[in-house]
Structure 1
Amino acid sequence: MNIFNQFEEQLRASINNLNTAGDLPDGLDLTRVTVEPPRDPAHGDLSTNAAMVLAKQAGRKPREVAELISNRLGDLEGVESVEIAGPGFINLRLRDAFWQKLLSEILKAGETYGDSRIGAERSVNVEYVSANPTGPLTVGHARGAVVGDALASLLQKTGHRVTREYYVNDAGGQVDTLARSVYLRYREALGEDIGQIPEGMYPGEYLREVGQALADRDGRTWMEAGEAEWLPAVRAFAVERLMLLIREDLKAVGIEHDVIRSEKELVDDGAVQAVVETLKAKDLLYTGVLEPPKGKKPEDWEARPQTLFRATDFGDDVDRPILKSDGSWTYFANDMAYHLDKAQRGHDTLIDVLGADHGGYVKRMKAAVKALTDDQTSLHIILCQLVKLTREGQEIKMSKRSGNFVTLREVVDEVGKDVLRFIMLTRKNDAPLDFDLARVMEESKDNPVFYVQYAHARICSVLRHADNELPALGQDLSQLSDAPLDRLTDSAELAVIKMLAAWPRLLEASAQAYEPHRIAFYLDDLAAHFHGLWTKGKDNEELRFLLPSDPDLTRARLALLRAVALVIASGLSIFGVRPVEEMR
């Protein structure tokens, strides 16, 4: 029910008719022809660039082409007028009856309004969070978690088959550091004075519980054992306990992954060696010496032969090492194996949602996926900028290593998961986000989550009053879709319908750009249109939603309110936010 797509199809048909009539030449390239909302609503309801795109191909002036096309578009059903503007833009105004009929169709579609099939059932793997299992999640992790989860829901709503995935980085040196830190807490739990936590260890208080749990399970088994003996057991125990904590934190935010993939299992299964053999077979590995990093040369820089992947053949800036000097694989080699593993599981598109500190990771990983899959699998990497946590403007510092940080669970407990999720999506992922714990709880139009929820709650309040005062009207969607919607003629009412009409296009554009934050902007605009209509009703009794003296007009306005509530609820469901029926 994307009206812009519908009119674009009709536009293309009109151009083809002009070809057939000999008014325009055959073989015109229409790929850049679009139908969009005008930047200024005063210019009309729809706008197309067709004349400017086709003029050079047709050997005509843009306004001449615009005249030809306009004559055809004026005959389309629902079109009230066609105007040519500027160098050749064609603007269309649609009749009120078109919008009124569209409202009926929205109500008939119900919760499925806006659903799209542009994904064509393509398989998409969205990997997000994937925090090292070394402690509880912080509010910084929350942004990537929410962006990834909302993006997965958005892609599902637009016809993709989505797998939500968490990658456990349990094969690196940081996990050994975690195990040693837990071992200290284990000894502490058994009565030993461990003194100050050594530099480089994890000092967080949360590890006391892990150490105590290990002592409860194993007693003094590891007290006299050597590190080679206790390290693997303590590491496995620590990762399991920390992952349990992380999953509980995510569940508190309403996030559950379909797949949890272990890096260690991947390496132990020989996946990295398999990648190396694949690259060798493609002649994409060689022994070489890299140039020192650009800028100041590190004091410990040593030019030495390394096993390198020909990443520059696939768009990277430099070739990348896959083997460390100690003979172990680089993190990059492990990540190559992991992405090939995802591709081999049948995913057409891979999406990684990562922190801003992974900026240097993008080109090398895209090069790897292109090389390993013969460019058959696409990789998109979404970087989420930092979250600045404040209270009434005063920044709250966070440091995971020092143990001085605010956990995700603490923020959820204070403001609730719905507020957290919505606010995390009020900025584009690559823009910094200020999260003020006091401001997000304010009941004002400057607080977007309150403003949108208040619109939904207000509508629910009107519907409850209608049910009490005018029960005979009925509020089923099927009943309201047959209401006399031609009674909705006020400019503010029509403006709300036009906002609703933009929802399917907004969903598709957001999915194609991998930008769920656009939904937050849209919901804020839709709420503003509704609140504006509410205010007009307070100032003018004839525009009130409930008019006992005019049941037909009341039914029409209830139909409009139900449609607004449907779309708000639909948008919030993508965010994983529950629409409220009462503000408490």
Structure 2
Amino acid sequence: MNLFTEMRALVIGALERMQAEGTLPAELDFANVAVEPPRDAAHGDMATNAAMVLAKPAKTKPRDIAQNLASILAGDARITSAEVAGPGFINLRLAPELWQGLVKAALEEGSDFGRSTMGQGKRVNVEYVSANPTGPLHVGHTRGAVFGDALASLLDFVGFDVTREYYINDGGAQVDVLARSVYLRYLEAHGQEVAFEDGTYPGDYLIPVGDALKAKVGDAYVGKGEDVWLEEIREFATEAMMDLIRADLKALGVEMDNFYSEKSLYGTGRIEAALKALEDKGLIYEGVLEPPKGKKPEDWEPREQTLFKSTEHGDDVDRPVKKSDGAWTYFAPDIAYHYDKVSRGFDALIDVFGADHGGYVKRMKAAVSALSDGKVPLDIKLTQLVKLWKNGEPFKMSKRAGNFVTLRDVVDQVGPDVTRFVMLTRKNDAPLDFDFDKVLEQSKDNPVFYVQYAHARVCSVLRKAQEAGIAADDATLVGADLSKLDHEAEISVARKLAEWPRLVEIAGRTNEPHRVAFYLYELASELHALWNRGNDDPALRFVQEGDAATSQAKIALARAVAVVISAGLGILGVTPAQEMR
């Protein structure tokens, strides 16, 4: 049940009536007509911009349209008042029955309340994390993992067919470095002294990998050259790191549908096929790029390369796909990977990258646009850095990782639920401060606690009702006399509940799951405000001694809040609290 959609349909119907009566032109586009919450709740329950957006094409003053429209809307039983404000906005007040009916709908629909068919079953590939398989996930990966996972759940909630995907970067030189690092740990396992040089990875997490390699091959590689062991250890080490990464993701509550290996693109003709597809469109050529803007690097020289004409699809400059020595650039396999996504029939692609990949956005969008003839949109979401704090100071680096704070460091400190929620309390492209002390505070300033406390309070109401012998199961609450919910404080909670179906559609349309976290905090605030008013006014308490009928109506409202909080936390990947300890 989406009251905003229902009221918009009412407004459109009134506009069509005005067209039939000749007070509006017959041919008008109503696409920009909206019904939204007013900026100031004191002005009404909802507001429409209809007169404002139609005045110019109708060649009529906005207030003239608004006054006519308002008089029609006021005649509907669902509207108690329709008032023209300012230059032509219309503020609407709805009959109490609508708010009461919304509470019933939330209980009847349960976890499906607010679900949408907006996505129409379109297939969306969401690629996220995709960290190099060279070590445990760090805190930056944590934010990308949480954001990508919540976004995938959000899109599923609004009707998309979502595939969660991890791209394993196992085709580059960094995996050779990993193999050499594991070899050093392997030698250590045989009692040798080793030194980590030339950029090798010194983290303690490779010690068990070296031990495992020794257990598998004995001393077969001791004293042997890279030509003997490099390829085998690459494969062994990569799989060991992916096992570690999968375990890290599981600790965070993230499960992928698909892991795609970059290595599978090499030597299989897939890179060549993707570039041939671009060449057939006249987008591959041999040429010399202009020197970089600003100060020219000392080692720069004009040289002919194989280039992708990405400027024809919105990029700033054309991009090399093959070096002058014939080797592929990093961009070439990424083109092939996205060509594979397009070929798999996805209707839309979303990539979640770290902030350091900002320079990669335009070229990747250009490639997908070219490969799909503009039919498959690619949205690239950048996640900004996370600054960790503890005891008022920056949180120190992890010894186990060698040079960064790991995902496990964070989850072990505060748990997966807190980690996930906090990572979504800022928009993905805004920096985030993660203070280990503050995220565990039991205060209104801690959104994790505040939302969980609201859900736990509803659970306590249900337990109290049971102790009082008042039936408070959902089937009973659906049949409660909800006309008893007539206090402004109760209607205010119902108004906020009504925003949920609209909110998730907006969040899904913009690919912004942080909107869900923000909304849950606002809904929790409404519940807590009603609870606190009940402390001063016994008539507002959820359980009314000796009055089961009134209690059930009030408990139905609280239970509806819990239904929405549970659904919202489900999108964020957070388990609702039954009680606070």
What TM-score does the superposition give when structure 1 sets the normalisation length? 0.98
Equivalent position to 1:513, from 510, 514, 523: 510
Secondary structure of 1:26's match?
A: coil
Alignment partner, residue 519 of structure 2? 522
Shift of 1:402: 7.8
Deviations 1:425-471 (A, max 9, x none): 100000001111111111111111111101111111111011011x2
Counterpart amino acid of residue 521 in structure 1 = F
Alignment partner, residue 252 of structure 1? 251
Alignment partner, residue 220 of structure 2? 221
Shift of 1:33: 1.1
Preserved contact between residue 392 and residue 439 of structure 1 (Cα < 8 Å): no
Secondary structure of 2:367's match?
A: helix
Counterpart amino acid of residue 92 in structure 2 = L
Shift of 1:14: 1.4
Counterpart amino acid of residue 183 in structure 2 = Y
CA distance in 2, matches of 1:164, 1:102: 33
Q: Structure 1 362/399 Cα, relative in aligned 2: closer, same or farther at 3 Å? A: farther
In structure 1, stretches of 5+ residues that fail to align are none
| Within-5 A mapping of 1:21-420 | 21-194=21-194, 196-398=195-397, 403-420=402-419
CA distance in 2, matches of 1:364, 1:170: 21
Shift of 1:110: 1.5
CA distance in 1, matches of 2:424, 2:526: 21
Secondary structure of 1:81's match?
A: strand
CA distance in 1, matches of 2:223, 2:405: 36
Shift of 1:399: 8.1
Deviations 1:512-545 (A, max 9, x none): 0100001111110111111111111111122211
Counterpart amino acid of residue 62 in structure 2 = P
Q: Does 1:457 align with 2:456?
A: yes
Q: Structure 1 29/400 Cα, relative in aligned 2: closer, same or farther at 3 Å? A: farther
Shift of 1:224: 3.5
Counterpart amino acid of residue 23 in structure 2 = D
Shift of 1:230: 1.1
CA distance in 1, matches of 2:407, 2:423: 12
CA distance in 1, matches of 2:198, 2:397: 18
Counterpart amino acid of residue 518 in structure 1 = R
Alignment partner, residue 472 of structure 2? 475
Shift of 1:397: 4.2
Equivalent position to 2:568, from 566, 571, 580: 571
CA distance in 2, matches of 1:373, 1:101: 46
State the identity as a percent: 57
CA distance in 1, matches of 2:275, 2:57: 50
Shift of 1:476: 2.2
Moved more, 388-397 or 250-259: 388-397
Shift of 1:392: 2.4
Preserved contact between residue 397 and residue 404 of structure 1 (Cα < 8 Å): no
Shift of 1:366: 0.4
CA distance in 1, matches of 2:101, 2:204: 61
Deviations 1:297-337 (A, max 9, x none): 21211111111100000000000000023321111111000
CA distance in 2, matches of 1:47, 1:534: 28
CA distance in 2, matches of 1:156, 1:432: 27
Q: Structure 1 399/284 Cα, relative in aligned 2: closer, same or farther at 3 Å? A: farther
Alignment partner, residue 12 of structure 2? 12
Counterpart amino acid of residue 38 in structure 1 = P
CA distance in 1, matches of 2:505, 2:266: 38
Moved more, 541-550 or 166-175: 541-550
Preserved contact between residue 572 and residue 578 of structure 1 (Cα < 8 Å): yes
Counterpart amino acid of residue 506 in structure 2 = A
Moved more, 231-240 or 474-483: 474-483
Secondary structure of 1:115's match?
A: coil
Alignment partner, residue 494 of structure 1? 491
Secondary structure of 2:273's match?
A: helix
Q: Structure 1 310/202 Cα, relative in aligned 2: closer, same or farther at 3 Å? A: same
Secondary structure of 2:125's match?
A: strand
Shift of 1:271: 0.9
Say what the alpha-carbon RMSD is for the aligned residues.
1.3
Deviations 1:173-229 (A, max 9, x none): 1111111111111111112111x3113111111112211111111111112332122
Preserved contact between residue 147 and residue 424 of structure 1 (Cα < 8 Å): yes
Q: Structure 1 308/179 Cα, relative in aligned 2: closer, same or farther at 3 Å? A: same
Deviations 1:468-500 (A, max 9, x none): 11x2x3222221122111111111111000010
Q: Does 1:428 align with 2:427?
A: yes
Alignment partner, residue 535 of structure 2? 538
Shift of 1:261: 0.3
CA distance in 2, matches of 1:266, 1:510: 35
CA distance in 2, matches of 1:573, 1:229: 50
Counterpart amino acid of residue 311 in structure 1 = S
Shift of 1:99: 0.9
Preserved contact between residue 179 and residue 237 of structure 2 (Cα < 8 Å): yes
Alignment partner, residue 558 of structure 1? 555
CA distance in 1, matches of 2:162, 2:401: 37
Preserved contact between residue 185 and residue 211 of structure 2 (Cα < 8 Å): yes
Shift of 1:401: 11
Counterpart amino acid of residue 221 in structure 2 = W
Deviations 1:79-98 (A, max 9, x none): 00001111110111112222
CA distance in 2, matches of 1:354, 1:218: 38
Secondary structure of 2:199's match?
A: coil
In structure 2, stretches of 5+ residues that fail to align are none
Preserved contact between residue 303 and residue 324 of structure 2 (Cα < 8 Å): no
Secondary structure of 2:434's match?
A: strand
Preserved contact between residue 129 and residue 353 of structure 2 (Cα < 8 Å): yes
- Equivalenced residue count is 581
Secondary structure of 2:299's match?
A: coil
CA distance in 1, matches of 2:521, 2:83: 30
Shift of 1:409: 1.1
Preserved contact between residue 320 and residue 364 of structure 1 (Cα < 8 Å): yes
Alignment partner, residue 546 of structure 2? 549
Secondary structure of 2:266's match?
A: helix
Preserved contact between residue 2 and residue 502 of structure 2 (Cα < 8 Å): yes
Preserved contact between residue 202 and residue 401 of structure 1 (Cα < 8 Å): no
